Amino acid sequence: MINLNFGDYDIPHVGVLYRLNREKRRVKGADVVNFVKQAHPHANASGLTAFEHAIPTNGASNGHAGKHEPAPARAKRSRYFDTYIQALQQPDLGGARVNPPLGDDEAEALQSIYMHNHRAAQIHEQELELAALDYGNIRGAHVTPAFQRMVDRLAEESRPACIMDNLWFVHAMNGPMLNLFGIDPARHLGRWEAWHSLAAKFLVHSPLFKVHISMNLNYPPAVDFFFKEISRHLFAVQTRALLAELHRLSAENGITLFDRWWEQTVTFQLPWAFEDMRREIRYWGGLPHEERTAENYTIIRAWADARHDFTVESLCGRPMHYWLSIWDTPPNGETPGISITELDGYADNRQIYFAADYDVDHNFHVNTWPDVWAYLEGLDV
């Protein structure tokens, strides 16, 4: 029996996401039905219930436990999902205020999520696409030319940079990236969280947690950006398993606000406007860990200045999406006497550090987590 327990914050399908957005705005289901009836006279409360709630079934032919296939709702969804969104865009509904109404960009985002995720076959295909992501793709004796070009581009970069996949797992980093964030390769890279851009921030003893001047300023925009990146495959088993682990990890490390940030993000109520993620980072250079204090650091201002996307075809012909993230000093944000291309620290600025070299038990990436792996093995290719 495969144990795919995604926890209390799981969003199993698009109808649940819509329901969260409705309830967060204190809109009654009956008022949505009445609004939808204006365009679809046959809409009713049972149709709304079928749309909004997960319906557990035996699912696909593999019979995996925990699989949700809300098939009975599928026919009704395509008929009025857009009108549902229009209801949440109204300033008031049924005599009550919609607080706040969905904006045009937010409505478009929900429509896009629906269009990519309203059929079980779409989610199945996304799971197969994500399943091809593997740390060994860019490291080893049989690296394909397409992957080698990606690694070569990272090797050419003198600024802090890393290669990530579209679930935010980091596959490789250069030395300047490690030194910018105070990471000691021998000490910090031997666990999966170190190779995930968001998870690394949730370990209170990790360098990425310690270097940020303000968690409240830096973390909410990162959560919002993460949601935007993964929303296309929000309901794939890998995404749901990863999110469950992020919720567990944040709670275990006392970062209890993540649950609230996530709820506000998926309901488009995070009080934050999207902007370039400029950060103030504590920089200790080459100081030993035991000598680093709250007083003897220098502040470096840095931001993710450039992004280069790569799409590589898997052996099965499916696209794999990666991106090269490059950090730099923002305009007029230079720190006197410090060059972001010549940072001191524990890492060699001329070296590339690969996740595959540290993932000795082959269990860092979500695709290799035991229950996820077992589930993926049962998928029909």
Determine the pLDDT at residue 69. 39
Q: Which residues pair with 312 in a beta bridge?
A: 320
Determine the pLDDT at residue 173. 98
What average pLDDT does this structure show over 238-258? 94
Of 207-216, 295-304, 305-314, 354-363, which one has max mean pLDDT?
A: 354-363
- Cβ atoms of residues 125 and 118 within 8 Å: no
121 versus 68: the higher-pLDDT residue is 121
Residue-range domains of the chain with CATH: 14-118 (no CATH), 135-377 (3.30.450.180)
Residue 355 — very low, low, confident or very high, per pLDDT cuts 50/70/90?
very high
Asked if residue 58 has pLDDT above 50, the reply is: no
Determine the pLDDT at residue 248. 95
Distance of CA 289 to the CA centre of its chain: 30
Residue 32 — very low, low, confident or very high, per pLDDT cuts 50/70/90?
very high
Asked if residue 44 has pLDDT above 80, the reply is: yes
Give residues with Cβ within 8 angstroms of 178, minimum separation 6: 184, 185, 345, 346, 347, 353
For the CA atoms of 229, 233, 235, 238, the dihedral, rounded to the nearest 10 degrees, stands at: -90
In degrees and rounded to multiples of 5, residue 374 shows phi and psi of -65, -40
For 346, which DSSP code?
S
Which helix (H) or strand (E) element contains residue 262? helix 257-266
What average pLDDT does this structure show over 220-237? 94
Q: Which of 69-83, 236-250, 318-332, 353-367 has the lowest mean pLDDT?
A: 69-83
- Cβ atoms of residues 270 and 224 within 8 Å: yes
| Cα–Cα distance measured from residue 370 to residue 39, given in angstroms and rounded to the nearest whole number | 47
Digit-coded pLDDT (tens) for 259-301: 999 999 999 998 866 666 678 899 998 888 888 888 889 999 8
